[in-house]
Amino acid sequence: MTKIDHISSRFRRPKKATGTTTSTSLAPAPGSSSPDVTKLAPAPPTTQHESPPALSITTTTPPGSSHSTLSNVSNQSDQNSNTVNGTRNVLHPPKSPLRSFHPFRSNKRARSPAPATLAIPTSPAVVNHDGIVEHEMTSPSKDQPQNGDGTSVDKPKIPAFLALSEQEIEAGFQDITWRERIRLQQGFQNPSPSFQFARIFSPEVRMLDRYANIQPWANNRVKLQVPEGELDYVNASPIVLHSPLNPEKRPPHRYIAMQGPKMGTMDHVWRMVAEQLSSPAVIVMLTETHEMGMEKCYPYFPRTPEEEPLQIGEGDVFGDGFRAQVKCANVEERADGAIELRKITVDVEGREESVVVWHLLYRRWPDFGVPALEDIDSFFELMRLSREKNASDDNPRIIHCSAGVGRSGTFMALEHLMRELDSGDLENYDQNHSEDLVFDTVNALREQRRQMVQAELQYLFIYTVLRKLWMEKYGVAEEQGEEPAAKRLEVDHDPFIED
């Protein structure tokens, strides 16, 4: 039993005793034996029973998703995941048999504190996609609602992927982790520079990376518009998430996932802002500059209007004379101090108009952890402000934490799926769909940037929040005696990065 299994077992309720014992194991294949099944349900010697069919749900790929055409990576990794002939069982996914195999050992240099306890309130607030609290949630009546003629009204059924147990969610995360390891292995083995998951091996970029094991894919990175022969690298990845349920009517979410700037990459970041974004632009910062005495992000912006403007390009690192000045116009606090909202202006030499950048610093999210549920309203407010201040849906928002993968990926996945929930398309989702939207979204993120939604705790948090929001939206309460599908794990180390 792993340390995580031991810790999480404290949260599991014992199963209720029943009058009969039923084996849920599949019948053994012809010619094989299974002592466990024989003990649970010994077959009479004179009677042959057919093997029960395996319960599976056919998975169809939503149009516009990055999975509409399976890559070589997905095809290979499916053999090691909970898929059978192109299907994925979202009701009872098995644990990956390869979860304990670690072909790559991480040498991540930054460690982080254990996250705080995630308490689930009994009467949470109902929050829509824009982060606005509509009303306080009260416990619904146990009596079944009725129509005017006295007949019962059927309540919507929660989607199967939001009813997964903690163990099933954990198995899904291990599957995603294994798929990424296969991509990394293929990146080592495939020398073609056009390969989708090609690695960056150029030694001169290493000094620009905050962490040795966090880099963009070579063919999905932001390239600076510098003179030929100059280094065009910045540790940032363009991210596009298409609506899995209605891509024709909902514009894709566009982001740039970026590492927390270093002192030596500040010029690269502001040049990227000037080249890639329209005014007004948005930067969402999900980390403090220092946490537990360690630098997580260099202070790459002026904090107050009184501070001297930052001078960009004084060293002419790009060899083309690019110069800019970064000033803080004003700063204010939102959501009881959880958000620092700054208006920053970037004046590029040779341009007539300034670039306005709205910089949103969120202060209540620990590294490798998740926001406490009592802070969730401020987190939704952060999402709403970032959309409201942006020039348009086509203008990507820069989202960064320290490495630009854990907290950043969780923000993107949750905001993206909250829009699908808010649309009403998840009301009777299982009638026409069987995909696990959380799994598919996180896997799509990792196909665009390594280690997005880095920690299992963050992956679990996405299910927890979506489940709570779904129940509040449709007035459905947890059934008495049922174990909550997603509960927070308490760990004293990062459950993904190896020591």
Closest CA to 100 of 186, 168, 178, 187: 178
DSSP 400-456: E-SSSSHHHHHHHHHHHHHHHHHTTTTTTGGGT----HHHHHHHHHHHHSTTSS-SH
Structure tokens at 164: 């997964």
DSSP 126-142: EE-TTS-EEEE--PPPS
What residue spans define the domains of the chain?
Answer: 55-140+153-474
Helix locations, 79-136, DSSP H: none
401, 426, 471, 489: which one is catalytic? 401
Structure tokens at 271: 């040049």
Q: CA–CA separation, 418 vs 416, rounded Å?
A: 6
Q: CA–CA separation, 293 vs 270, rounded Å?
A: 26
Q: CA–CA separation, 78 vs 462, rounded Å?
A: 23
pLDDT given at position 128? 53
Question: Could you give the 3-state DSSP secondary structure of residue 205?
Answer: helix
Q: Using the 8-state DSSP alphabet, how is residue 4 labeled?
A: H
pLDDT given at position 373? 79
Q: What is the pTM of this model?
A: 0.71
Q: CA–CA separation, 395 vs 277, rounded Å?
A: 6
pLDDT given at position 145? 54
CB proximity list for 370: less than 8 A, separation 6 or greater = 115, 118, 410, 457, 458, 461, 488
Q: CA triplet 398, 369, 242: central angle to 5 degrees?
A: 40
In CATH terms, is domain 55-140+153-474 a member of 3.90.190.10?
A: yes
pLDDT given at position 271? 98
Phi, psi of 483 (to 5 degrees): -75, 130
Report the amino acid identity of residue 84: V
Q: CA–CA separation, 351 vs 261, rounded Å?
A: 25
Q: CA–CA separation, 245 vs 426, rounded Å?
A: 9
DSSP 254-272: EEEEEPPPPGGGHHHHHHH
Q: CA triplet 242, 248, 254: central angle to 5 degrees?
A: 30
Per-residue pLDDT of the chain (499 residues; tens, 9 = 90+): 544 444 444 444 444 444 444 433 334 444 444 334 333 344 444 444 444 444 343 444 444 444 433 334 344 444 444 444 333 446 445 444 434 334 333 344 444 434 433 444 434 444 455 555 444 444 344 445 555 666 566 788 999 999 999 999 999 999 999 999 999 999 988 888 899 999 998 899 999 999 999 999 999 999 999 999 999 999 999 999 999 999 999 999 999 999 999 999 999 999 999 999 999 999 999 999 999 899 999 999 999 999 999 999 999 999 999 999 999 999 999 999 999 999 999 999 999 999 999 999 999 998 777 888 788 999 999 999 999 999 999 999 999 999 999 999 999 999 999 999 999 999 999 999 999 999 999 999 999 999 999 999 999 999 999 999 999 999 887 653 344 444 433 333 333 333 3
Query: Catalytic residue at 401?
Result: yes
In this structure, how many other beta carbons lie within 10 angstroms of the beta carbon of residue 362? 27
The radius of gyration computed from the CA coordinates of the chain, to the nearest angstrom, equals 25
